[in-house]
Structure 1
Amino acid sequence: MSDTPSHFLSTQHYRRFVEFGEYCRDKKHIGLCYGRPGVGKTESARQFASWNLIEPLLQQPSRTRRLPEHIASCDVLFLTPEVTVTPKKLETSISLTRNKFDGLVEQARVWHHPESVFEKRQSKNVKLLIVDEADRLKFQSLELLRDLHDRGSIGIILMGMPGIERRIKRFGQLYSRIHLTYEFQPLTADETNLFIAEKWLQLGLPRSADDAVSTAIKRVGNGNFRVLNRIFTEIERLQKLNCLPLITPDLVETATRGLLLGAA
């Protein structure tokens, strides 16, 4: 188990992000999404773009890869720039990934819908570019994205930490083109309960978590996806190591004591 949940939990904030993303894609606007670390921004964006499915396929030879029909209708590109990215590297990365993506979508379309070969298609399949970790981008790289939006007629979503919305205000040309912002929030209490219940099932435990255990997990997790996953990873490790049939508040306390948990 990793910090990335094996089963995606569709929360109210993910559903709002989908609405946000569809608006930016359909209207070809620039949007800004920000939120604290671990609340689910990246996983939500990858889920919206089907990137967990697409990314491995981009690395496979076209002759041997098997493409689900869903790929034929994909139109969202997800990109995480390198820490030391330059405008040139960013431009190259976008171009290469976009070309691979276009080839992937066209291959899926021809395979699953052979009649589309005779239809006149648009030359590019990307309608929305999501740039994660946009805090890493300096002025010239941000200007490159603005120019891509202006010339390429595509929507763009910039994703980053709280404060990026204030930083971008300094770049007037880009800021004036941002039509919508969305702040990603932690899980609600009900969503945290659902998350715990699903983890309980994954661990194969005989009954649902009692109130004391749930309270202990929620108190430390504080609605943060990443922290909650790390807690359960450590709980599972200790449970197997000590052959424990149940999870108790003491086990939760022991699991969280060994983790380096920042402010959720």
Structure 2
Amino acid sequence: MDHTLLDVTILDDHADTRPAFVTTREHRRFTEFADTVRSHRYIGLCYGAPGIGKTLSARHYAGTDEWEQWHPLSRGTGALPPVPEAVQQSRTAFFTPTVAATIKQIDQGLPRACQHISWAIDYAQHGHVDPYVHAESQYSGNTELLIIDEADRLRTAGLEQVRDFYDRHRMGVILIGMPGIEKRLARYPQLYSRIGFAHEYRPLRSDELTAVVAQRLPDPDPDDSGLAHTAALAAIVRATNGNFRLADRLVTQVNRILTINKHTHLTPEAVDAAQEALLIGR
């Protein structure tokens, strides 16, 4: 490969180039967990290391990406497109508290997130959306599950606010956080006693990670029987150790390097260069 291999800064990132969602074993486990919390109306706790796909699975389950495209249109005066099918099926609100979220922000944010989903369900069924954004929280009846991401950010009063909101509504709640959040919540008996399910989100297995990254990389070179391709994939798996976020960054960087150097096949050298550029270890 030529000397431009490490020149990985000359291409601009493309906007909205998110790859298609890939259903993994861990996502299927999360879906089963979320369905159970939703049907039994319990509080569920999902925890796992950073970057392994917790938020991605939760957003896909709730149809959050589709929702974020549809919901701004509901504030206009024109005709609305159909409510995304994923939102209608999941009936799930997705809420992420800010780092310094106040009690007032949480008190307003939780019902508002659920109200919006309920209104979307009403619109899908009756062709009507309630325009009053700050309605009382009891009008969230169509929402069956509330997912709270980054639950580690919630302080004691915030956790108590979540418990109070849960007690006042008939819906399941999932708290997503880092390992150790289950021990922290154990110090709050009133909330902890309402947790019916706990789910540990695990890193991707090597075979799954290989299959996921292979879909976003060039095909093997037939001239070397795919040996370089196999070695490069193995290097990516070793470097990322099942961490989906790292794998996504590394694959993106590898593709940029291959594009810069006008190479059409994956090689271990491209992976080595991408690792050095991303400083993720070797």
TM-score range, shorter-chain basis? 0.7 to 0.9
Q: Which residue does 1:78 correspond to in 2?
A: 94
Q: Which residue does 2:57 correspond to in 1?
A: 44
1:211 is aligned to 2:230: yes
Q: Which residue does 1:87 correspond to in 2?
A: 103
Q: Which residue does 1:11 correspond to in 2?
A: 24
Q: Could you tell me how far apart the structure 1 residues matched to 2:104 and 2:231 are? A: 54
1:250 is aligned to 2:237: no
Q: Which residue does 2:259 correspond to in 1?
A: 240
CA deviations on 1:66-114 (whole Å, 9 max, x unpaired) are: 12462444411111111100121011112222222222221122359xx
Aligned residue runs from structure 1 range 193-232, under 5 A: 193-200=210-217, 203=218, 210-232=229-251
Q: 1:185 aligns with which of 181, 194, 202?
A: 202
SS at match of 2:183: helix
1:101 is aligned to 2:109: no
Decide whether the 8 Å contact of 2:221 with 2:229 is kept in 1. no
SS at match of 2:198: strand
Q: Could you tell me how far apart the structure 2 residues matched to 1:102 and 1:34 are? A: 27
Q: Which residue does 2:142 correspond to in 1?
A: 125
Q: 2:153 aligns with which of 114, 131, 136?
A: 136
- Structure 1 residues 128, 106: CA separation in 2 closer, same or farther (over 3 Å shift)? same
Q: Which residue does 1:152 correspond to in 2?
A: 169
Q: Which residue does 1:32 correspond to in 2?
A: 45
Q: TM-score, normalised by structure 2?
A: 0.82
- Structure 1 residues 129, 249: CA separation in 2 closer, same or farther (over 3 Å shift)? same
- Structure 1 residues 246, 86: CA separation in 2 closer, same or farther (over 3 Å shift)? same
Q: Could you tell me how far apart the structure 2 residues matched to 1:64 and 1:180 are? A: 41
Give the CA deviation at 1:155: 0.8
| AA partner of residue 88 (structure 1) | K
Q: TM-score, normalised by structure 1?
A: 0.87
Decide whether the 8 Å contact of 2:229 with 2:266 is kept in 1. no
Q: Which residue does 1:66 correspond to in 2?
A: 81
* Matched residues, number: 252
1:261 is aligned to 2:274: no
Q: Could you tell me how far apart the structure 1 residues matched to 2:249 and 2:140 are? A: 43
| Long gaps (5+) in structure 2 | 1-13, 129-138
Q: Could you tell me how far apart the structure 1 residues matched to 2:104 and 2:281 are? A: 35
Q: Could you tell me how far apart the structure 1 residues matched to 2:17 and 2:176 are? A: 18
More divergent stretch after superposition (75-84 vs 55-64) = 55-64
| Long gaps (5+) in structure 1 | 113-121
CA deviations on 1:151-197 (whole Å, 9 max, x unpaired) are: 11211000001111111111111111111111100111221121122
- Structure 1 residues 64, 40: CA separation in 2 closer, same or farther (over 3 Å shift)? same
| AA partner of residue 67 (structure 1) | P
Q: What is the identity percentage for the equivalent residue pairs of Structure 1 and Structure 2?
A: 38
CA deviations on 1:40-74 (whole Å, 9 max, x unpaired) are: 00000011111111122222235343124624444
Decide whether the 8 Å contact of 2:52 with 2:242 is kept in 1. yes
